[in-house]
Structure formats: C-alpha cells, structure tokens
Amino acid sequence: MLRMRSFLPPLLFTLAYAVVSLGVTNSYYQLILTLVPVWAVFGLSWNLLSGYTGLISFGHAAFFGIGAYATALGQIYFDISPWLLIPIAAVLGGIAGLLIGFPTFRLQGHYFALAMLAYPLAILYVFEWLGFQEVTLPIKRDAPIAYMQFADPHLYTLLGLALMLSTIVLTQIIERSRFGMALLAIKQNEAAAEAAGINTLAWKLRAITLSGAIAAAIGGFYAQVLLVVTPASVFGMLVSAQALTVAMFGGVGTVWGPVIGSVILIPLAEILHAEAGARIPGIQGVIFGIAIVCVILLAPEGLFWKLRDLLRKRNAKATASDTVATVAANVTTLRPASPRPATGEVVLEVRNLSRSFGGLKAVQDVSFKLHKNEILGIIGPNGAGKTTLFNLLNGFLKPSQGEVLIGGRDMSGQRPHVICEAGIGRTFQVMRPFLRMSILDNVVVGAYVRARTDDQARQFAADAVARVGLSAVANRVAGELSTKELRLMELARAIAGQPRILLLDETLAGLGHGEADEVVAVIQQLARDGMTIAIIEHTMQAMVRLVDRFLVLDHGAVITEGLPEVVTRDSRVVEAYLGKKWAGHAAN
Amino acid sequence: MTAKSKITISRRTLLAGASGTLIASRAWAQQPAEVKVGLLVPISGLYARPGTVMREGAEMAIDHINAQGGVKALGGAKLKLVVLDSGDTTEKAKNAAQRMVAQETDLVAASGAYLSSFTLAVTEVTERANLPMLTLSYSDLITERGFKYVFQTAATAGSQAKQALPQLIKLAETASGKRPKTVAILTDNTGASIASAKAMREGLLAENQLQLIVDETFTPPLADATSLVQKIRSAKPDLLFFLPTVISDAKLLLEKMNEFGLGQGKVPTISFGIAIAEPDMLQTVSPELLQGVLTCVASWGAKGHEALIAELKTRYKEPWMTQNAISTYGDMWVIKDALEKAGKADRVAVGEALRTMDGGPSKYYPLGEIKFDEKGRRVGAGMTIVQWQTGVPVTVFPPELALAKPFWPKS
C-alpha cells in the first residue's frame, strides 16, 4: 500500500509535465522540455551510485558516451533501429560499469573521485583516435518512426518522460529495498556496514552496473535527440559535471534531487543563453555560476533537503504540543544481575589471538571462552587493546596469530559481513546513525543479514526496536534523538540481524547516570532472552551490576578473568587502572 | 505560454510574459521592406573570437548591400542581420538552431556555424525547417547526408588537400630547383585535421610521388613538442605538414623547431587550417619564427578585396582578413543574389534559388562559380595558400588572387 502511494507523486508530476509539453508548440521550448528529462535521468543515474553510496563519480560521462556512440554507430554501421540500440547501449553501459567499478572500488573518497575522472577522458581520446570526431545519425526518410526520428518534437519529450518516470520508479524501489539500505549504510560508514552483514563490494558493483546502464541508455537517447555525436559532447568534462550539477543543486541521495535540479537549471541556462547571451555574450555563464554558488552556500545538501527541513520544522512547531508525551522505555526496571553459571555451551572461543601493528603488540596471546547466555565484561585502561580485540573478532582486522572459533568453526581472517552472517553483531564506540532516516529505517539496515524479503526485514527491525523499548518513537528521524535513544537504536540495529553473540563497544559512553541504568536494563533483558553478550566499558559501576564475568586486559594481554567481586579486588586490576601506588591502598 | 492563467507571479511567468511581448513587438516592427538573414556563430566561450570575426564580415556585407539599394527584386528591401550565439558545445549550437527556427520564423536564410561539428548539428535542425544554410565549415560529412538546404561555399577538406599538394610541390620545385620527395605529417586529432591528413595518407601523397617518412598524431594541447621535433630532425623530411588547431600547439612546435635548428624554413612547414594564421598567433610567437610558414585555407582576403581589407582594419581593428571574415561577407551577398532570383522573401523559394542559381565567377570565395551542385557543394570551389611574410599572412596562391609572390624558404 505504502509502496503504491509513493509512486503517485512521480506519476502525477510526469503527467503534469506531459500536459504542459503538449501545450507547447514552439519547437525550441519543446527541445528544452526534452532535454530536462534527459539530464534528470543522467543525474538520477549518478545519484544511484554517488548519491546513495557517497562515492563521488566525476566520470559518469564514460557511460553516457558509450551509450551515445553505441546508438549512433549501431545505426551507421549495422543499420539497427535505436529502439533496439538503446537497450543494447544499456547493457554495454552496465558492462562498462562493472569493468570500471571492479578495479576502482579499491580506492576510497577523493581517490575514487579522481580515478573516475580519468575514464571518460581516456575513452574520449580512444574515440578520437578511432576517427569518430564527428558522427551524424543517418536520416531515415522512409521509416522515421522505426528509427526514432519523429517529425513531431512532442514525441521526444514524451519518450524522455517515459525514461524519466521509469528511472524514478526504479530508484524508488531500490531506495526502499535492501539494495538502497545497503548503499546508504555504505555511505554512512562502510566498515559499520560490513559489520552489519553487508557485502559492500558486491552492492557497490551492483550500483555502478545499474547506474552505468541507465546513464548509457539516456546517452543513447540523447544522441537521438542531438543527431550529432562528438567525443566532447558526450565524453567531455562538462557532461560529467552536468550530472553532478543537477543532482547537487536539487539534492543528493534522493530521487527528487536530480529531477528538481534539472527542471530548474536546464531551462534557466537556456533562457539566460537566449535572453542575456544575445546582449552580453558570456554573461549567461556568469549568472548561472553565481546561482549555483548561492545555492551551495544556502543549501549545501541541495534544494530538496533544505525545503524538507524547513517544512519539517514548520510542522514540528505546529504539532510540538502533541509530541511531549513521554516516551519511557517499556522494559522491566533494573534489577541486580542474578548470577548465571558460566557453564553453558561455548559459543565463542578465542585461542592465542595476537595482533601487532609494527612493533606495537596491540593484542597478545589472548584466550577466553564465551558461554551461551552470559554477559562478559571486557575491561582495561585506555589503550589496553579492547577495541582491537573486537575488531579481530568481527573481522575488521586479520589476526597475526591465533584462532577465533564461532560455534566451533574457525572464522579468523574472514570478511566482516561473513562473520556477521555467522551470528556476531556489534555496535560502535562512535555512533554513525543515518540522521535523516527514521529509527525504524535505521534499524532495517541491520536486519537484512537474516531477512529473506523486505517485509521480513521490516518485521525483524520492528521486533528489535520493540526489544530496546523505542517502539513509541520508531517513526521519528534519528536526527531528533537524544544520545541515549541513539545508543538504544544502535543496539536495535545490531540485534535486528538476530545474532547469537553481541559485541557492544562502550555502549554506555556519554550517558548520564539514570540513562545508563535504562540501557543496562535493556541489555540485561537481552541476556535473559538468550543473547550472549561481550561488552567493553570504562565505567565499572554499571558494569559490576551488569556482567556475569570480567575479562581484564592491559597492554594487549589478559591479566585476569573471573567473577566481578573477585576481579575488582584483584590488585593487578587496580594497578592497571590506577597505578602501583593505589594497588597497596586497595589491598587494605 | 500565456501568463494570464497564473495568479501568482513568479520569475518564470515574468520571463514568459517578457518574451511574449518581445515576440509581439517583433511582429509589429516587421515591415515588408525588411528581410531577415540569420548568423549563427559562437560569440561566447572558447570560439568567440572567430565567431566575432564572422559577425564583422556579415555586418560589413549587410551595410554594403543596403547602401547599394538593398534587394531590388523586393522593391529595395533592406537586409537585417539576426545574430544567434551557438555557444561552445554541440548541444548549445543545436539549441540555438532550434531557437532560430522556432522564434525567428521570418528568416530567409542563414550562415554558420564555424566548427564543422556545430554545423553538422545545426543543419540537422535547419534542414527540417527548410531554412537554407550557408557554411564555411568544410567537413565532407556536411554535404554527404543528402540534405537539400545546406550549401557549402568552401572546398571540402578532402578536396582542399587534393588541390593544395600539386601546387605546393610546384612551388617548391620552382623556388628551390628540386622536387620534394619525403614528407612528415604532424597532426592533432581534431576533426578537420584528421580529415586532411587522412586524404593525404590514403592516396594523395602517393599520387604526388611523395614518401611519408614520419607520421605522428597528437592530442591537443601539447605539453612538450621535443619528441615530435626529434623525430623530424632524425628523419630530415623535405616537407613538414603540420596540422594544429590550438594556437599554443603551433607556438610550441615552431619554437622547438627553431631551438633544434630546423626553424625558419630549414624544413619547410606547411599547415592546413586557420589556426596558424590567426591574428592571435602574433601575441605569442615572434614574426621571425613564422616567416615563410605556409598554410592552406578555404578562403582568405585576396586580390580584389583590398578595399574590404582596409575597411575591416579601420572599422574593427583587425590586422588582416581571415577566411572567417571574407567568407561570411560573401555569404551575405550570395543570399542577396538568391533573393533577387527568388523574387520573394520566402525561405523555400530562396533555397530553390540557391540550388538553381548560376551566379558566374565567384568574387569573394576563391575560384569557381556561384553555383551549387546536387550535394550543395559550390562548383569549382578552390582554396587559398597563405604565407607568413614579415608578420602578415598573405595570399600567395592561386596566382589570380595572390597579393604577394610566394618564396620558398632556403635550406
């Protein structure tokens, strides 16, 4: 139901656009109306990769140009109709995406962006070298419709609109599926995404393949509109820039961004060119540039987000009085931990685990066992190697030595998403929530590792949100939450994947006293429900009441292990935390 | 596009309203005694300079035609120039063409659009609107599409190379006493250069008993010309064909040639196209380095154009008359003649007149006649060879148009 409703706005928009276009008789305005959906689709294809994953591509012209040349050369040399060539172009664009993505995804951030810049420029020279400086589509006077050569320019606009509508709907489907969630997770924190069971390389390759296919298809259509293809007009720097411009102007990471950007910028550029350019040649570029600079300054994330934030703020003001209602966590209140015998089945066993960075032995020769249904507290002073140990357990780091047995199987050195699938979930010291998304959407990301369908993932996520007591606020955006709620949300994301073992990294950090108690209660409830938990924490106070057993690390090695009351009195532990001087005091 | 139906006044409605009134006022201003001619050239962006020169040529022609009584067949109707900016990309050029045919519905013909890739895109639009288009662009492709409303006034790229080669050899032979045998080609990979080089490689050189011993293609802009020049130095060709499009490449190579002791005619250098003879060359290259360099162009200020060259100098401060000025000047006269023949200010009639006209020997384009074949190519279109002589590129070939005698650089 929800899904059907979300397709309505693009459909209405497309229909309205079509009606306007049919009313325009001036062929020049009609051409502009045709170019708007062309650049919108190109922006959408860029958005699919760069908007959702955050990996900026400066080289989308590579796909656009491949599509344009495939469509042009296919007609010239093989006399194939563009009706067939545009789908072929899409396939070629997809293949190009895969070929380009595979080596380039080894790079990240700016390096990825710059490497992408190279592809269209390199291909441009190849096409020049091949002698395709100027390619014109053969005119087909006898079968114009079969060769997509319409006498009525309205038809080009309608065709462009059809392409735009399908791209919007496709993007919307992706946005709400596990595909879109995976891409968003990659954008926020690729490492965290891996930890949540997302095979990031596979999803990125899927994204660039699809993005390349769409870009190539619209490039083919563009060739059909322009009728002349030159390397500069389809592989040029300005073409890649066009995708960025419309998407960034309108809003990155949303289906409406490129559409808004294109609807405003393309006609604006043309009007300026036609009206101002005739009087002062070149002024159109200046005005256009200033307009873009202003938007970047005033709405750095694009118009869509700016408008949405403004609208939300206004709505929030109007309904502020309603939302004051308390959002108390509906979990059982804190009770002192009843000791659980540490004798259950061993679910995680670490044997002689070591990892060094150069000369620094961050973790050395650590061995311990985690029994089913217990809460193990891992403590130690700063730099003791606690987080490194977690990173070794969930696959961010490969151990130099030793084994990690999950359910009896050695999983050391596996990729994080594989280990996540094996049943280990984790949270992070530094939270990386998706601020614009609702709590439920944030949590869904973590559910896909177990869920087979999108509906099942939503179900798992809703369950997880309920277990941490956030059901009442599940539909609020993460940006409005308190630190405690964010911590609980992170917890929900980790348990949405239904792990058997949960690694919690400083889940109580930054919380006030009362708040910490609430979170502790949630964790205890999880343990009661059968979860096995390892938790890193600095604050002893809360930990003593929470955990069944302590593992104490210092300088990367295990000092001691045992029941809380025993460990806290151990002089070695006090020494590690407070220094030699206090060890004596503590003994008294 | 009516602004009435909208209640709120946005910027777009204002603009729409404004353009609406503009169109209306145009309609009011139109009198039967005025005939509109289009000029679609780049006047902004990378190619603004040549586009501006084309406009200067067109303006001069329009003034001359009107001063001499306008179009007599239309009762002395005056011509009016409508200039549209083709911008610096193929897409902008095509958009401008669409704007021209949609909004300037009373144009009878037009001229444009400088780069052949622009002309290719623009004529796709003008052809469908039955608007006759005269062009100086000389890509063979332009008139190979079976279009009826495009007229190429210059010899095509392939034909230019074909005409130039025997002349150059003859020139070398008479000046130096021996026939050149070996040649080198250094070309960039832009459309026009590739077309000329291709014609030479595929037969023209062999026809003229020339042996190609160095053949290098580069991508503009060059960062360093050393390796190219070293190849020339070790091969010692009798002639060097150098085909740059970007002025900085021309400068870089000429300077490097000089540095290696090959400059100033030691290896006679022949170019194709206008880049090496643009006034802007003198801003970066000294006249001594350019002395003797030859280039083959579609058209140039020549014998019989002295008054025009002088007028261009005083009116627009142009140092000499390039193909862009003289050709566009000629285009306006051809359109005027076609109007005389058609007897009405109608684009289809003007197109028909252009196809069937026989205007006798050409005055402003080199050689041939004012007559177009079935493809739209000017019959007998010749080309000009221009040589840098003491800081000015002057026409040295064909003899009937030459303003100076060519000299062969002494080796």
How many Å from the N-terminal Cα to the C-terminal Cα in chain A?
A: 69
Task: Please spell the DSSP secondary structure of B223-254, one letter per residue.
Answer: S--HHHHHHHHHH--SEEEEE-SSHHHHHHHH
pLDDT digits (tens, 9 = 90+) for B69-97: 999 999 889 999 999 999 888 888 999 99
CB contacts under 8 A, A 199-238 vs B, are 226-228, 230, 232-233, 236, 238
Where is B349: in which H helix or E strand? Answer: helix B347-356
d(C-alpha B200, C-alpha B161), whole Å: 7
Q: Considering only alpha carbons, which residue of chain A is nearest residue B142?
A: A136
| Contact check, Cβ <8 Å, B120/A136 | yes
Pairing between β-strand A549-554 and β-strand A557-562 as defined by DSSP bridges: antiparallel
d(C-alpha A156, C-alpha A149), whole Å: 9
What pLDDT does A428 receive?
80
**Which residues of chain A lie closer than 8 angstroms to B191, CB-CB?**
133-134, 230
Contact A169, A161 (CB under 8 A): no
Q: How far is A49 from chain B (nearest CA, A)?
A: 26
Q: Confidence band (pLDDT; 50, 70, 90) for B386?
A: very high
* Rounded-to-10 torsion of CA A552, A554, A557, A558: -20
Highest mean pLDDT among A11-15, A361-365, A413-417, A455-459: A11-15
**Which residues of chain A lie closer than 8 angstroms to B198, CB-CB?**
131
Domain ranges (residues) in chain A: 2-234, 345-423+537-588, 439-498
Please indicate if any CB of chain B lies within 8 Å of the CB of A284. yes
Facing B117 at nearest CB: one of A27, A139, A228: A228
Amino acid letter, residue B285: V
| Contact check, Cβ <8 Å, A133/B194 | yes
| Contact check, Cβ <8 Å, A282/B98 | no
Tokens representing residue A25 in the block:
């008789």
| Contact check, Cβ <8 Å, A128/B219 | yes
Contact A464, A492 (CB under 8 A): yes
β partners of residue B79: B35
d(C-alpha A111, C-alpha A212), whole Å: 20
Order across the sheet with A532-536: list the strands.
A424-426, A501-505, A532-536, A375-379, A549-554, A557-562
What pLDDT does B26 receive?
47
Q: How far is A83 from chain B (nearest CA, A)?
A: 20
Q: How far is A278 from chain B (nearest CA, A)?
A: 7
Please indicate if any CB of chain B lies within 8 Å of the CB of A359. no
Mean pLDDT of B404-409: 82
Q: What is the ipTM of this complex?
A: 0.75
For the structural domain made of A345-423+537-588, what CATH number should be given? 3.40.50.300
Tokens representing residue B256 in the block:
């490097």
Please indicate if any CB of chain A lies within 8 Å of the CB of B88. no
| Contact check, Cβ <8 Å, A134/B194 | no
Q: How many CB pairs under 8 A join A and B?
A: 104
Q: Confidence band (pLDDT; 50, 70, 90) for A336?
A: very low
**Which residues of chain A lie closer than 8 angstroms to B145, CB-CB?**
136, 138-139
| Contact check, Cβ <8 Å, A227/B191 | no
CB contacts under 8 A, B 111-170 vs A, are 116-117, 120-121, 124, 127-128, 139, 141, 145-147
Residue in A201, A218, A175 with CA at minimum distance from that of residue A48 = A175
Where helices occur in A227-255 by DSSP H, the ranges are 231-235, 237-250
Mean pLDDT of B46-69: 92
Q: Confidence band (pLDDT; 50, 70, 90) for A321?
A: very low
Q: Which is more confidently placed, B9 or A148?
A: A148
Amino acid letter, residue A342: A
- Judged against a pLDDT cut of 50, whether residue A182 lies above it is answered with yes
Q: Which is more confidently placed, A438 or A319?
A: A438
| Contact check, Cβ <8 Å, B15/A270 | no
Q: Considering only alpha carbons, which residue of chain A is nearest residue B12?
A: A268
- Judged against a pLDDT cut of 70, whether residue B55 lies above it is answered with yes
A257 to each of A47, A102, A266, A478, how far by Cα in Å?
Answer: 8, 27, 14, 21
Phi and psi angles of residue B385, each rounded to the nearest 5 degrees, phi first: -110, 135
Non-local (6+) Cβ contacts of A79 within 8 A are none
**Best mutation target, B91, B137, B149, B196, to test chain A (most A CBs within 10 A):** B91
What pLDDT does B30 receive?
44
Buried b (16+ CB within 10 A) or exposed e, B370-396: bbbeebbbbeebbbbbbbbbeebbbbb
Q: Which of A147-161, A302-316, B1-15, B103-117 has the lowest mean pLDDT?
A: B1-15
Tokens representing residue A513 in the block:
């006293």
β partners of residue B397: B385
CB contacts under 8 A, B 9-28 vs A, are 12, 15, 19
d(C-alpha A441, C-alpha A446), whole Å: 10
B363 to each of B331, B373, B384, how far by Cα in Å?
Answer: 11, 18, 14
Q: How far is B91 from chain A (nearest CA, A)?
A: 7
| Contact check, Cβ <8 Å, A277/B116 | no
d(C-alpha B391, C-alpha B287), whole Å: 5
Q: How far is A26 from chain B (nearest CA, A)?
A: 6
What pLDDT does B212 receive?
93
What pLDDT does A98 receive?
95
Facing B90 at nearest CB: one of A28, A125, A226: A226
What pLDDT does A333 receive?
44
d(C-alpha A380, C-alpha A184), whole Å: 34
pLDDT digits (tens, 9 = 90+) for A47-64: 999 998 888 899 999 999
- Judged against a pLDDT cut of 50, whether residue B206 lies above it is answered with yes
Phi and psi angles of residue B371, each rounded to the nearest 5 degrees, phi first: -160, 140
Please indicate if any CB of chain B lies within 8 Å of the CB of A65. no
Contact B184, B228 (CB under 8 A): no
Q: How far is B359 from chain A (nearest CA, A)?
A: 31
Percent of chain A with pLDDT over 90: 29
Amino acid letter, residue B77: A
CB contacts under 8 A, A 252-281 vs B, are 267, 270-271, 273-275, 277-278, 281
Tokens representing residue B380 in the block:
């007998």
Residue in B292, B222, B217 with CA at minimum distance from that of residue B251 = B222
**Best mutation target, B81, B99, B219, to test chain A (most A CBs within 10 A):** B99
What pLDDT does B9 receive?
45
Residue in A494, A496, A492, A467 with CA at minimum distance from that of residue A481 = A492
Please indicate if any CB of chain A lies within 8 Å of the CB of B1. yes
d(C-alpha A550, C-alpha A561), whole Å: 6
Phi and psi angles of residue A430, each rounded to the nearest 5 degrees, phi first: -95, 120
List the beta strands (DSSP E) in B284-372.
294-297
Please indicate if any CB of chain A lies within 8 Å of the CB of B190. yes
How much of chain B is helix, strand and coil, in % rounded to 5?
Answer: 45, 20, 35
pTM (global) more than 0.90: no
What pLDDT does A328 receive?
43
Facing A230 at nearest CB: one of B83, B90, B194: B90
**Which residues of chain A lie closer than 8 angstroms to B141, CB-CB?**
134, 136
**Which residues of chain B lie closer than 8 angstroms to A29, CB-CB?**
1, 102
Q: Which is more confidently placed, B306 or A273?
A: B306
pLDDT digits (tens, 9 = 90+) for A212-229: 999 999 999 999 998 889
Average per-residue pLDDT in chain A? 85
pLDDT digits (tens, 9 = 90+) for B284-321: 888 888 888 999 998 999 988 999 999 999 999 999 99
Where is A405: in which H helix or E strand? Answer: strand A401-406
Tokens representing residue A229 in the block:
């293809």
Residue count of chain A: 588
